[in-house]
Every structure is written in structure tokens, then in C-alpha cells.
Homo-oligomer: A and B are copies of this chain.
Amino acid sequence: MNISKKMNKIGQSPIRKFNPFAIKAEKEGKKIYRLNIGQPDIETPSCFMDAVNNFHEKVIAYSESGGETVLQDAISNYFKAYGMSYTRDDIMITNGGSEALSMVFTSILDPGDEVIIAEPFYTNYHTFVTAAGGNIVPITTKAEDGYDYADAELIESAVTGKTRAIACINPGNPTGRVLTKQDMELIAEIAVKHDLWIIADEVYREFAYDGNEITSFGMLSNVADRVIIIDSVSKRFSACGARVGCLISKNKDIMECALKIAQGRLCCPTLDQIGAAALYNIDRSYYADVKKEYEGRRDAVYEELMKIPGIVCRKPGGSFYIMAKLPIDDVEDFLMYLLTEFEDNGETVMFSPAEGFYATEGLGKNEIRIAYVLKQDDMRRGAQLIRLGLEKYKAR
């Protein structure tokens, strides 16, 4: 009566360690600027609930395993605006981008198979790959280089006979790194050379700043048969609790396999799919407005962070995260200090310690991830609190 060996390899979520202390601090009246999770404060467009409230079927019945056609069509149209052409058969609706990733790794990995990904990376990839029986092989990147990983030698040094895929989160979580078209072509070339799947986790697609053009692995026609795009409404439409994502590919084998898994779990929730269809059909001016908002937040938090002596931080080009290396040895110890001892006018701040974003033991201990999910002034104040906290922490 044991837990499986593969699951015992997965550690506890680091969030669970700090949350009880945050809750205690809040109970004692402290205000905490929560910059630790990717839960934006931006309102979900009202068309979502409008569509849900307009649902009047008497029976909330199963929908199709691959998804509601109204949603598949809305997604198909969304991609058309970027010159990418996907049919209903190429689009599988999933329970958030999370389930899409689970399905992909379950579909392509046998025990011991490997997936290459640049570290630091979104920590739940650990769970998805491990639960599917596989292993992550990281490509280590550095704060000093702005977490660049588009280097042929670097990537190819990670390829082995067991490599099945290279996964790219673009724009990056947690790094905010944006791949250029050239970067993508380089990665595509390596994937072709070693016959690898390209898992393109592009849920932050609309969030590329500084006039960067939005690019996608779906735009490279020479790898159309090996690209698997992961998409989601969570971040783009600030609808994290809707849990609607999708898996998109022109490769029939992966879609066939994903459909087998999808049929096993029957379908995604009907109501959320109907709401999500309305989101994907939104006027494109929405994206510009939201992008402008996040860009302003990024600039604000970056400006404040750079006032910290000794910080290492390159301004990221996308998503809504910023990574920074702090001039201390142990950011977890510092975070605990911020939650339990520090305050400035009754306020403190919370960030994500970066260790959980690395696969390589010992890395990330002096790095943090900040999610710029609060308004500009709050972001400035949050970064200021890190600076003030750091001063007192070092002076103890």
C-alpha cells in the first residue's frame, strides 16, 4: 500500500512552506504585496460571464471530448489573425494549459525518456514530466545573459539518445525571455536534426513588449509536423479560474493520442468552454490595452528594482514576470524574514524564491521571480519594500 516511486520523486510545492506565514502576517494586520503568483488583478472581460449566463439548456450534458466546436472555431479564428491556419481537428480543448502539457508528456514519454528545457522554467513541468515517467534535462541559463538559451552548442549538449522533445516557454515563465524569429529557427533546426518534438508553450503570446513582434513556432512551416502549441485563456484574458486551454498541432499522431486521453476523461466543462469562446472572439483592441498595462507595470517594477545595490536584473521582453539575482545567499531565508519580522508602515511583500524553477541542484538560491500582476503603484511599492527589507535584513 505504497505511493509510486515516480511520485515520490516530486517534492512539495515551495508555496506551501510560506503561505501559512503570509496568512498569519495578514491576520496580524500586515498588508502583503503578493508578487509571488501569476494571478492578475485585471478584470476578466465581461463577455465571459455574459455567455455563461446566456446558457439555458435544461441538461448540462457532456460536450465533445475534443471540445465544443464553437470554442475550436473561435481559437481557429484567433490564430488566423497571425496567419496561422488550424482546423477543428488540429485543436484539442483541455482543462487549462496544464492538462494540455500533461497530455503531451503522457503521449510522448516512456519511462526514462527525456525532455530538454531551459532552466529556470515553470516549476510544474517537473510534475507533468515526472508523472508521465520521464526526466527533465535542463539547459542552464543566467541572469547576467537575460536567460538567453538560443545557442546551438548549449542546446545540443543536452541531447541524448533518450531525448524526445525540446520545450520552449515563450515568452518565458519565469524569465520573461522572448525568442526572436531567428532563435526559433535555430531551435527548429536542432529539432529536425535530432528528430525531436517542439513543445511551444505560448500562453503569454500577447505579452511581448518594446515593439517586439509576436512570433510563434506555428509560423515555421518546415517544422509544422513536429510543433505542439500550448495555449490558454488564463493569462491572456485574466481568466485563470476558467481552466480552459488547448493543445494544437498539425501532427495527426499526437492529436490522435491526445484524443484517446481526452476520451478517457470524457470532456471539459461545458460552461467554461462557452465563456472561453466569447473571450477568443474579443475585439483585438483588448490585447493592445492589456499589453500596454503590463508594459507599464514592468517598467515601473524594473525601475524600482534597479535601485537595489548589487541586484542583477535584465529588463525582460515579455510575459508578466521579472527575475532578479539579489546580493544575498538565501532568498528563502530573506522571504521568511519579510513575512515574519519585517514591516514598513505595516506593509511587506512576497515573491517566489527561484530555486523551484531550476532542475539543477543548488541553483537559484539567490534569485527571485516577481509577477507584475498588480497596478503600477503597487508594483513600485512592492519593489521598494524588497529594497527596504533587504537593507534591514543585511543590517541585522
| Binary contact track A209-230/B, C-beta < 8 Å → 1, others 0 | 0000000000000000010000
| Binary contact track A261-281/B, C-beta < 8 Å → 1, others 0 | 101111111111001000000
Q: Which of B1, B39, B240, B267 contacts A196 (CB 8 A)?
A: B1
Instruction: Give the complex CA separation of A260 and B356 in angstroms.
Output: 14
The reply to whether A240 and B52 contact each other, CB–CB distance below 8 Å, is: no
The reply to whether B109 and A264 contact each other, CB–CB distance below 8 Å, is: no
The reply to whether A269 and B257 contact each other, CB–CB distance below 8 Å, is: no
Determine whether A195 belongs to the interface, using a CB cutoff of 8 Å to chain B: yes
Copies of the polypeptide in the assembly: 2
Instruction: Give the complex CA separation of A58 and B49 in angstroms.
Output: 10
The reply to whether B240 and A60 contact each other, CB–CB distance below 8 Å, is: yes
Instruction: Give the complex CA separation of A59 and B124 in angstroms.
Output: 23
| Binary contact track A107-142/B, C-beta < 8 Å → 1, others 0 | 111110100000000001011100111000000000
Instruction: Give the complex CA separation of A30 and B5 in angstroms.
Output: 53
Instruction: Give the complex CA separation of A131 and B257 in angstroms.
Output: 11
Nearest chain B residue, comparing its CB with the CB of A134: B4
Size class of the A contact interface (CB-based, 8 Å):
35 or more
Determine whether A95 belongs to the interface, using a CB cutoff of 8 Å to chain B: yes
Determine whether A41 belongs to the interface, using a CB cutoff of 8 Å to chain B: yes
Chain B residues whose CB sits within 8 angstroms of the CB of A109 once the complex forms: 4
The reply to whether A264 and B131 contact each other, CB–CB distance below 8 Å, is: yes
Determine whether A7 belongs to the interface, using a CB cutoff of 8 Å to chain B: yes
The reply to whether A102 and B265 contact each other, CB–CB distance below 8 Å, is: yes
Determine whether A98 belongs to the interface, using a CB cutoff of 8 Å to chain B: yes
Given contacts A52-B271, A254-B3, A260-B7, A239 and B60 within 8 Å (CB-CB) = yes
Given contacts A4-B109, A59-B41, A242 and B270 within 8 Å (CB-CB) = yes
The reply to whether B266 and A242 contact each other, CB–CB distance below 8 Å, is: no
The reply to whether B263 and A124 contact each other, CB–CB distance below 8 Å, is: yes
The reply to whether B96 and A266 contact each other, CB–CB distance below 8 Å, is: yes
Nearest chain B residue, comparing its CB with the CB of A68: B241
Chain B residues whose CB sits within 8 angstroms of the CB of A113 once the complex forms: 4
Nearest chain B residue, comparing its CB with the CB of A198: B1
Chain B residues whose CB sits within 8 angstroms of the CB of A95 once the complex forms: 95, 99, 243, 265, 268-269
Chain B residues whose CB sits within 8 angstroms of the CB of A42 once the complex forms: 59
The reply to whether A124 and B40 contact each other, CB–CB distance below 8 Å, is: no
The reply to whether B7 and A107 contact each other, CB–CB distance below 8 Å, is: yes
| Binary contact track A297-320/B, C-beta < 8 Å → 1, others 0 | 000000000000000000000000
Q: Which of B111, B238, B241, B267 contacts A267 (CB 8 A)?
A: B241
Q: Which of B53, B127, B260 contacts A261 (CB 8 A)?
A: B127
The reply to whether B131 and A261 contact each other, CB–CB distance below 8 Å, is: yes
Determine whether A13 belongs to the interface, using a CB cutoff of 8 Å to chain B: yes
Chain B residues whose CB sits within 8 angstroms of the CB of A99 once the complex forms: 95, 265
The reply to whether A257 and B7 contact each other, CB–CB distance below 8 Å, is: yes
Min CB distance A55 to B, Å, is: 7
Determine whether A44 belongs to the interface, using a CB cutoff of 8 Å to chain B: yes
The reply to whether B226 and A240 contact each other, CB–CB distance below 8 Å, is: no
The reply to whether B53 and A124 contact each other, CB–CB distance below 8 Å, is: no
A27-67 interface (Cβ within 8 A of B): 37, 39-44, 48-49, 52-53, 55, 58-63
Instruction: Give the complex CA separation of A241 and B110 in angstroms.
Output: 32
The reply to whether B60 and A241 contact each other, CB–CB distance below 8 Å, is: yes
Min CB distance A258 to B, Å, is: 9
Jot down 12 A-B pairs with beta carbons below 8 A, ordered by A. A7-B257, A7-B260, A42-B59, A49-B55, A53-B53, A60-B238, A111-B133, A124-B265, A126-B264, A131-B264, A243-B268, A271-B271
Binding site for B on A (CB under 8 A): 1-7, 10, 12-13, 15, 37, 39-44, 48-49, 52-53, 55, 58-63, 95-96, 98-99, 102, 106-111, 113, 124, 126-128, 131-133, 164, 195-197, 226, 238-243, 253-254, 257, 260-261, 263-272, 275
